Amino acid sequence: MNIDKTTLQDLAIFHTEEEQSVFSKLNFAQTTGGAHWLAHLLSHPYHELKPILETQAALKQILTQTHLWPQQITNGTIMVLEKYYQSQIDTIPAHAGPLQAYTYKLLHGPDFSLVRYTVGHAIDFLQGMQQFADLFTTANGSTLLNTLIARIQLTLSKPVAKELIAVSDKKSLSAAQYLQFGHFLLYHYKNQVHELIELYGRLDAYYSLARAIQVHNMQFPEVNDSTEPHFNAHSLRHILLEEPVSYQVSLNQSTNFVFLTGANMAGKSTFIKAVGIAAYLAHLGMAVPAEAMRLSLFHGMISNIQVSDNLVKGESYFFNEVHRIRNTITRIADGQKWLVLIDELFKGTNVQDAMRCSTTVIKGLLKIRTSLFILSTHLYEIGEELKPYPNIAFKFFETHVQQDQLSFSYQLKDGISNDRLGYLILKREGVVDMIDKL
């Protein structure tokens, strides 16, 4: 799936305030390396169906084993191993006997302490990696996990590595044994340790996704390579909300455009982002926050949600809106399947201009049947002119007003909303009274 930085930002896949990001909701990684690999996975949605299905299969396999996940590999263990290869250690003898070991310990005390400490952590690390190999070695395993496990098994196949894995009591090791293992790790196994750390980071990232699926009660979507675009979701939720309202969504080639209206704070932006995040996660091979979802493989996704002006370049808000729409039309005119999300089109100009510009753009977008569109607007008046188009669906979020108090159901309804509650919100928040007292 093609996606640009603006769309990633609009959907808050990553965010400067980390707790406001989708990444933070999915990050159950146990190590820094695992978190880095998770960020890598979230930055690279797939363009083809095969890797999506392979990732789904891997996560499903991991989900059956999360309760058996090896716990002795920690961030601290990996940091100790990495520091070992960065340290300036006096030469460790290759075949140290008791006397040579005693001499090294006496003359190079700090280095010997580092060797002994590192070997202890190396034993934990290699034993943990062996447990992964044992846990996921199966004839019916996913292709993705089988590839990772095969690399682990090959890397652990060296005789001395097997000796380290076989250690049952680290305290029983002699000084000579510590030096022999330390020599092996430093001079003959450095590249293999780094490779194993990388492999563990990848496993940790997939474990993180599996734990997120469990914690957030997510389900795997059905993704297909249909030539016709479609997106159908049952009880879709926004993953960043603590108490989300669920949505029923249905878009296909015959009804490929949602014209969304509703008052401020009614839920339009949240709904649009929920659809975008779910589609994005599906293209990662990840489960989604919904009870069920079925969608076509999209060539790309593009959003127009948080446009801003550019004072340095002297570009106005409206100019950047126009530029973003121009870029959108250029990209989706390629005949491929795109998911297009637009929130409050042309906010940066007066109402009359906005109505004329919006109508022109929407009528143009309605000609493109290979893509799906969700567009929200306050300009409910233009809805009447769009009703003759057979491929447009009119949806709105309702608002109830009782004694100047607002309540929102956040439920998607059929039709067009003509709610205008800006003044009421201004009054409710005490701004009108403040102005009257000036």
Residue 25 CB-density burial (10 A; 0-12 exposed, 13-18 middle, 19+ buried): middle
Residue 270 pLDDT class (50, 70, 90 cuts): very high
CA distance 401 to 262: 13
Asked whether residue 1 is domain-assigned, the answer is no
- Last-in-domain residue among 176, 194, 215: 215
Phi/psi at 157 (5° precision):
-80, -10
Whether the per-residue pLDDT at 199 is higher than 70: the answer is yes
pLDDT for 428 equals 67
Is the CB of residue 208 less than 8 Å from the CB of residue 28? yes
Residue 438 pLDDT class (50, 70, 90 cuts): confident
Whether the per-residue pLDDT at 354 is higher than 50: the answer is yes
CA distance 258 to 396: 10
Same domain? 192 vs 326: no
Spatial CA neighbour of 195 closest among 157, 167, 159: 157
Same domain? 111 vs 259: no
Whether the per-residue pLDDT at 309 is higher than 70: the answer is no
Whether the per-residue pLDDT at 103 is higher than 80: the answer is yes
Same domain? 207 vs 229: no
- Identify which has the larger pLDDT, 419 or 269: 269
Same domain? 232 vs 357: yes
Asked whether residue 77 is domain-assigned, the answer is yes
Is the CB of residue 196 less than 8 Å from the CB of residue 81? no
Alpha-carbon torsion angle 38, 40, 44, 45, nearest 10: 0
pLDDT for 319 equals 82
Same domain? 264 vs 194: no
Q: Average pLDDT of 9-28?
A: 89
Q: Average pLDDT of 130-154?
A: 92
Take residue 159 and report the two structure tokens written for it. 């005789």
Pairing of strands 257-262, 392-402: parallel
CA distance 225 to 332: 18
pLDDT for 54 equals 97
Same domain? 318 vs 180: no
Spatial CA neighbour of 33 closest among 189, 151, 211, 196: 196
pLDDT for 229 equals 97
The pTM for the full model equals 0.92
Asked whether residue 403 is domain-assigned, the answer is yes
Domain that holds residue 257: 223-436
Same domain? 361 vs 241: yes
Is the CB of residue 240 less than 8 Å from the CB of residue 405? no
Q: To the nearest whole number, what is the mean pLDDT of the chain?
A: 91
**pLDDT-wise least confident of 25-29, 202-206, 338-342, 343-347:** 343-347
Same domain? 423 vs 397: yes
Asked whether residue 18 is domain-assigned, the answer is no
Same domain? 78 vs 118: yes
**pLDDT-wise least confident of 72-76, 289-293, 316-320:** 316-320
Whether the per-residue pLDDT at 421 is higher than 80: the answer is no
pLDDT for 314 equals 38
Whether the per-residue pLDDT at 326 is higher than 70: the answer is yes
Same domain? 67 vs 211: yes
Count the alpha carbons within 13 Å of 26 in the hemisphere toward its beta carbon: 32
Is the CB of residue 421 less than 8 Å from the CB of residue 263? yes
Asked whether residue 4 is domain-assigned, the answer is no
Whether the per-residue pLDDT at 424 is higher than 80: the answer is no
Work out the number of other CB atoms within 10 angstroms of the CB of residue 393: 14
Q: What is the CATH number of the domain that holds 293?
A: 3.40.50.300
Give percent of the chain above pLDDT 90: 78
Same domain? 354 vs 417: yes
pLDDT tens-digit profile of 217-226?
A: 999 999 999 9
pLDDT for 262 equals 86
- Last-in-domain residue among 215, 249, 269: 215
- DSSP H or E segment with residue 132: helix 109-136
Take residue 40 and report the two structure tokens written for it. 């890598």
Asked whether residue 16 is domain-assigned, the answer is no
Residue 411 pLDDT class (50, 70, 90 cuts): confident
Q: Number of folded domains in the chain?
A: 2
- Last-in-domain residue among 215, 237, 261: 215
Asked whether residue 45 is domain-assigned, the answer is yes
pLDDT for 32 equals 96
Q: Average pLDDT of 246-255?
A: 96
Phi/psi at 91 (5° precision):
-50, 130
Asked whether residue 81 is domain-assigned, the answer is yes
Residue 417 pLDDT class (50, 70, 90 cuts): confident
pLDDT for 410 equals 85
Same domain? 37 vs 184: yes
pLDDT tens-digit profile of 393-409?
A: 999 998 876 666 666 78
Where would I find the H helices in 252-350?
Answer: 268-282, 317-332
pLDDT for 313 equals 44
**Does residue 261 sit in helix, strand or coil?**
strand
| DSSP strands (E only) in 214-299 | 222-224, 231-236, 247-251, 257-262, 292-296
